[in-house]
Amino acid sequence: MLNRVFIALTILAVPVFADSGLFHQIRKKDAVTLVVREGECEARVVSRTLDQLTLRLKTTTGACGESRVPIIVLRGDVQDVVDNRPDSGHGPRWPGPGFCAAAAMALVGAPGGYAVGAATGSGPATLLVLFGSGVAGAALCRERGSHYTVFTGRITTVQP
């Protein structure tokens, strides 16, 4: 009997412990998927304050309203926030963009820079190829933009 009561209390307490802690990590220009009772919609963060997000809808939906209309989501109305950033696939010990830049410079930039320098006789062209490959390598390994899913009970349309 006591076990059933404990399970029932646990199920009832789940909304209290929902993690809206990621709310503070949502920044301006982040992509957000809003999930409301009526459905879901895609939006982008236009501005934010401590306990409020102002979003602009990407498309018109029955759940959220017309596209490009700003809406407000208050932290008190948010039940959960999920970080949907794709995993890089490299694991936690991956050295990051600096390693990718060095590898690109060593494997592509140095031989390419040598070939360009030998063909043109230009030192600046050689350096341009070398450092350009480093920038390209760092860009390929950078962390992609954030995308969050926000589960909320209510949204408010901004009145002009």
| Predicted pLDDT of residue 76 | 86
| Predicted pLDDT of residue 50 | 85
Residue showing tokens 């990407």 = 58
3 state SS of 53? strand
| Predicted pLDDT of residue 138 | 81
User: Which pTM was predicted?
Assistant: 0.54
Q: How far is CA 89 from CA 12, 50, 85, in A?
A: 36, 33, 12
User: What DSSP element (H or E) covers 30?
Assistant: none
**Strand 31-36 relative to strand 39-49, pairing:** antiparallel
| Predicted pLDDT of residue 90 | 53
pLDDT digits (tens, 9 = 90+) for 31-44: 888 888 888 888 88
**In the chain, helix, strand, coil percent, each to 5?**
40, 30, 30
pLDDT digits (tens, 9 = 90+) for 76-134: 888 888 877 655 555 555 667 778 888 888 888 889 888 988 898 888 888 888 888 88
Q: Identify which has the larger pLDDT, 90 or 57.
A: 57
Please state, as a whole number, how many other Cβ atoms lie within 10 Å of the Cβ of residue 150. Answer: 25
| Predicted pLDDT of residue 5 | 58
